[in-house]
Chains A and B, each alone.
Chain A
Amino acid sequence: MSERVAIEVRDLRIETRAGAAIVEGVDLAVERGSILGLVGESGSGKSTLALGLLGYCQAGLRIARGAVHVDGTDLLALTDAQVRSHRGRDIAYVPQDPQTALSPAQRIGEQIHRILRRHAPERDTPETVALVLQRVGLPADRDFVRRFPHQLSGGQQQRVAIAMAIACEPAVVVFDEPTTGLDVVTQARILDEIRRLSGESDVAMIYVSHDLAVVAEIADRVAVMYGGRFLEEGATADVLQRPLHPYTAGLIDAIPDHRRFAMPRGVPGVAVAVGERPAGCIFEARCALRVPNCAVEEPSLDVVLPGRAVRCFEWERTPPLARPERVEPALAGDAEPLLRIEALSAGYSAGGSTRLVLRDIDLTVARGRSVALVGESGSGKTTLARCIIGLHPPASGAIRLGGEDLAPRARQRSLDARRRIQLVFQNPYDSLNPRQPVGRQTAWPARRLRGLSSTDADGETLRLLDLLRLPARVAQRYPHELSGGERQRVAIARALAAAPDVLVCDEITSALDVSVQAAVLELLAELRSALGLSMLFISHDLGVVAAVADDVLVLDRGEICEAGPARDVLTAPSAEYTRQLVEAAPALEGSDGGGAS
């Protein structure tokens, strides 16, 4: 067996210059022809580990301890120059964002040539480059080889990055979130490609991702990272079916799945920060199963079942996965239409001509209903949201709220009309004023749009923060002092401060970790039933849609190609485009236990 092992890591520790561990005590081994998935949320140290596998650290970090054997050679025992001769030849790396990772000033053929020239000069021929491009499903003609990175689509760029990685036929390839920036259909194709390469080229692969559903589709084994450590490791299907660590169980429960209409559940608490790592178990503070010993002693990663390792004293008590069926909100009998969009078209003018990005959109959000608008990037979803709240005047069509026509621009609308529709933006890092305490920002809509006195508005702020499960002291904080999930909840509180009838949510969970996303989704469901709020939920993530929407509209290049109740659209799509989306969306195979061989 051991000669099949292409990479073996022992007791790896990567720390900051100040001595705080980012990665601690990692052991792993991957055989040729097999794929190990590394799953973790932001701050888990997964990307640092991925780079560490190539003996590389970003500025400010250092590898403090351990060994990384690639094809029998310990990279960490070598000089810089020696390690460089292994990187790209024996172990290669595929970056997260190929758009920035490919040098903008070099033709792609040239970039592949340079790697060959460096590591395998005898194979540095146009024929090799053509062959490598063909292996990743790209055209290999002269014209393509002479293109610059910006002339390729995102999917093609990622294929080029993969081609560069396999050019020298390495023993190991490390993929660091290679599909995160891609749409689901492209993502599905790239995953197919990686799986095929793994099958035919006898390479050991390590696939790093925040997305357990993606890893479930591709990895033979999976390791779950948290706070720089492995908490659990095992065959993918086993781990997904019967997680042994409470964190793994929580993570799986948090993943929305468009094939099961279950409500995702958030993992309580906030991820542990670097430098605040406790003496005992790293997950202790957020764990429901903790016992006194957990705070004192750190459990080791022990093999407890054949092929299964877990870092937990109480693993036997980890409950089996049981996700609550989604609670359907009690619908008002009449379901009177509240927001109505009729024959709306909108576009952007460039150089005298207008390019329509939305054509003939009809859409109704009834009181108390939640309508999801699904589409890929570029389908026009965000433009529609901007039209509705009056930031982008439509080319034609009408927007009605409770039977009343709305003016195309927000500043032409009455204060009350503005109050009744509120938007929550995608990115909570950009949508809050960094120079104002968040309490001031949530109080403002209440004062301006509802005419509350400043005292009443402050009271309203506290009530809303409480409703969104944020402590009252958050009101005095500045955005940078809050985590992403907290910021997004502040942004929702700011929208609710206007006491709106309709809440337009534009991809509001896409910048968040899954466990945080689940908490936000749960909260939205509660708010809907508590406040009778109507929602227009814009998302590209079918799992999220399945968790929150009553009705779904699918937007394909500016036109609605399918509409109907969420269950019907997601389980039995009728439009070809919807079928592709549903097919391509990664999902945990979960209960039926299929998945990796």
Chain B
Amino acid sequence: MAEALRSSDGERQPNPFIRFLWRRLAVGVVLAVVVSVVIFAATDLLPGDAAQAILGKTATPEAVEALRVQLGLDRPAVQRYGEWLGGIAQGDLGDSLSTRGPVTEAISGRVVNSLILAGLAALIMIPLSLAIGAYAGTRPGRPGDLVASGTSLVFIAVPEFVTAAFLILILAIGADLLPPVSIVAPGTSPLATPAILVLPVLTLLLASLAHNVRMVRAGVIETMHSPYVQMARLNGLSEREVVFRHGLRNALPPAVQVIALNLQWLIGGIVIVEFVFQYPGVGQLLTQAVALRDIPLVQALAILIAVLYIVINIVTDLLVVLLVPRLRTAGAS
């Protein structure tokens, strides 16, 4: 795939944006391969041996050796890496050591659950942070801004597991409005019982929203002081148009980058939040997999999360280029 991308990169591409897209994709693929090497090396080569880890320190050398052969660990690492990578390319992530079934089966339901959680949080976070940021940024120092900025500072300062604990204490235990844990019965979708999603989403939202609000606010304050905003006002444009078309619009490129950082944080944050609420997503699965020494599962989840990071980065870069005419027309190199 990387080959195909590179060759099309060399050919004539009339649109600089398309060329930029190909180049970023190619870099993304290379990056994913590098990450896969690191993951494989870290989990498979460095700390002893999977067979030993599974059987524990008391196992006889014979038993360990038998398991090694069974797991294919006696073959050279390069060969095993090649097989692993080839498997990934075909959608085969290997077999889980704990479930003894295909890894894909073990994680598919979990991935959907996590995507529901993170997706809901992102879906609310993005428009909300733009709205609150623009609101605060257009009235810096006034009461509305002080409340928004002050609140966001509090949530930046508090780690998400503390936020989660507080929310459980107040909304679940104190007021008894919502379930304190978000257990999903196997084989059902969390969307069937929306109430269990409220607290985890709210925790993720509060923790990630605050950063975005502050960045959007800072960007809007800056653009609202720019000569083009003054010019728009001197041209008699309505304040609405000034704020949205000139102020917020030109504050978007830096905001998009911070929002992307927070989306990536969501992926990490979800591990903790899922653990706190016992929500059956990839985060919880990952912690279990590590505890059970289920190395194929750990590798699969790690590469999945890494690819997600890379994809978010690429999408962000593209968005920024689309939002900044100077980059879009210059063919960004």
Contact = CB atoms under 8 A, between A and B. Distances in A.
B241 A85 contact: no
Given A148-B326, A148-B329, A150-B325, A104 B228 contact: yes
Contacts of A97: 227
Interface residues of A, number: 31
A105 B322 CA distance: 10
A88 B325 contact: no
Interface string B123-139: 00000000000000000
A102 B235 contact: no
A51 B227 CA distance: 12
11 contacts: A84-B233, A88-B234, A89-B236, A92-B234, A93-B235, A95-B231, A103-B245, A103-B246, A104-B228, A115-B237, A150-B325
Contact of A101 (B227, B239, B245): B227
A164 B237 CA distance: 12
B237 A88 contact: yes
A93 B237 CA distance: 13
A115 B246 CA distance: 13
Given A95-B227, A95-B231, A100-B226, A114 B237 contact: yes
B231 A93 contact: yes
A87 B234 contact: yes
A84 B236 contact: yes
Contacts of A84: 233, 236-239
B99 interface: no
Contacts of B324: 104-105
Interface string A67-104: 00000000000000000111111001101010011111
Given A104-B326, A105-B325, 15 more contacts: A56-B230, A56-B233, A59-B225, A84-B236, A85-B236, A87-B233, A87-B236, A88-B236, A93-B231, A93-B235, A101-B227, A102-B228, A103-B231, A105-B324, A150-B329
B52 interface: no
Given A100-B226, A101-B227, A103-B246, A148 B325 contact: yes
Nearest to B225: A59
A115 B228 contact: no
Contacts of A414: none
Contacts of A58: 230
Contacts of A102: 228, 231
Chain A interface, >50% SS class? mixed
Nearest to A110: B245
B329 A151 contact: yes
Contacts of A92: 234-235
A150 B236 contact: no
A592 B231 CA distance: 40
Contacts of B110: none
B227 A150 contact: no
Contact of A119 (B227, B228, B234, B236): B236
B83 to A, nearest CB: 41
Contacts of A103: 228, 231-232, 245-246, 249-250
Contacts of B249: 103, 105
A159 to B, nearest CB: 15
Contact of B235 (A104, A150, A164): A164
Interface of A: 51, 54, 56, 58-59, 84-89, 92-93, 95, 97, 100-106, 114-115, 118-119, 148, 150-151, 161, 164
A56 B234 contact: yes
Nearest to B233: A56
A93 to B, nearest CB: 4
A119 B236 CA distance: 8
B21 interface: no
B235 A118 contact: yes
Interface string B197-225: 00000000000000000000000000001
Contacts of B234: 51, 54, 56, 87-88, 92-93, 95
Interface string B304-333: 000000000000000000011110010000
A87 B228 contact: no
A101 B249 CA distance: 15
Contacts of A56: 230, 233-234
Contacts of A106: 245
A262 to B, nearest CB: 37
A211 B226 CA distance: 25
Contacts of A59: 225
A459 to B, nearest CB: 47
Contacts of B323: 105
A106 B323 CA distance: 10
Given A88-B236, A95-B231, A150 B245 contact: no
In order of increasing CB-CB distance, the 10 nearest A-B pairs are: A87-B236, A88-B236, A88-B235, A148-B325, A100-B227, A93-B234, A101-B227, A103-B228, A101-B231, A84-B236
B9 to A, nearest CB: 16
A122 B228 CA distance: 25
Contacts of B245: 103, 106, 114
A57 B2 CA distance: 57
A105 B237 contact: no
Given A88-B234, A93-B234, A114 B227 contact: no
